[in-house]
């Protein structure tokens, strides 16, 4: 039982809530919600910043403080956006779509944090 808490925590195996579903769908497919978070991050070869943001969005309704996890996801997205890096978010996205996806994700997180009761 202790191994499951370490290797496969429940909060990374739950499907996304309605609040975070649209956010996650910017980066992964709906079928991925049946998979463990780390497997999805590896599947899409998400980089450190985007992978961590996805992790916090994935678990925000199931572990600790939702507000805190949303703020952490926002921090990682904004940090990635401010980097002077040419690396893409993941191999399956074109560079043209990266900025659009990031802007949309940042806007949606801020809306959830400051405008809705989600």
- What pLDDT, on the 0 to 100 scale, is given for residue 42? 93
Measure the CA–CA gap between 87 and 96, rounded to whole angstroms: 12
User: The pTM is what?
Assistant: 0.76
Domain of residue 44, residue span: 2-75+84-114
Residue 54 and residue 51: Cα distance in Å, rounded? Answer: 5
| 39 vs 33: CA distance, rounded Å | 11
pLDDT at residue number 37: 87
Pull the structure tokens for residue 111: 């809306």
- What per-residue confidence (pLDDT) applies to 72? 95
Assign 54 to helix, strand or coil: helix
Structure confidence at residue 14 (pLDDT)? 63
Q: Domain tally for the chain?
A: 1
pLDDT at 66: 86
The per-residue pLDDT string of the chain (118 residues; one tens digit each, 9 = 90 and over) reads 455 655 655 555 566 677 788 888 888 888 888 888 899 999 989 889 999 999 999 888 887 788 999 999 999 999 988 875 555 544 444 444 667 888 888 888 998 888 866 6
């Amino acid at each position: 039982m202790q191994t499951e808490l370490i290797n496969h925590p429940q909060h990374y195996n739950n499907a996304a809530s309605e609040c975070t579903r649209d956010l996650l769908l910017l980066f992964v497919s709906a079928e991925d919600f049946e998979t463990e978070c780390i497997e999805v991050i590896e599947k899409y070869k998400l980089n450190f910043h985007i992978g961590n943001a996805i992790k916090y969005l994935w678990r925000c309704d199931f572990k600790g403080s939702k507000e805190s996890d949303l703020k952490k996801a926002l921090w990682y997205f904004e940090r990635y956006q401010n980097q002077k890096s040419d690396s893409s978010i993941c191999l399956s996205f074109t560079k043209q779509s990266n900025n659009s996806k990031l802007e949309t994700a940042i806007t949606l997180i801020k809306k959830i944090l400051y405008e809705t009761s989600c």
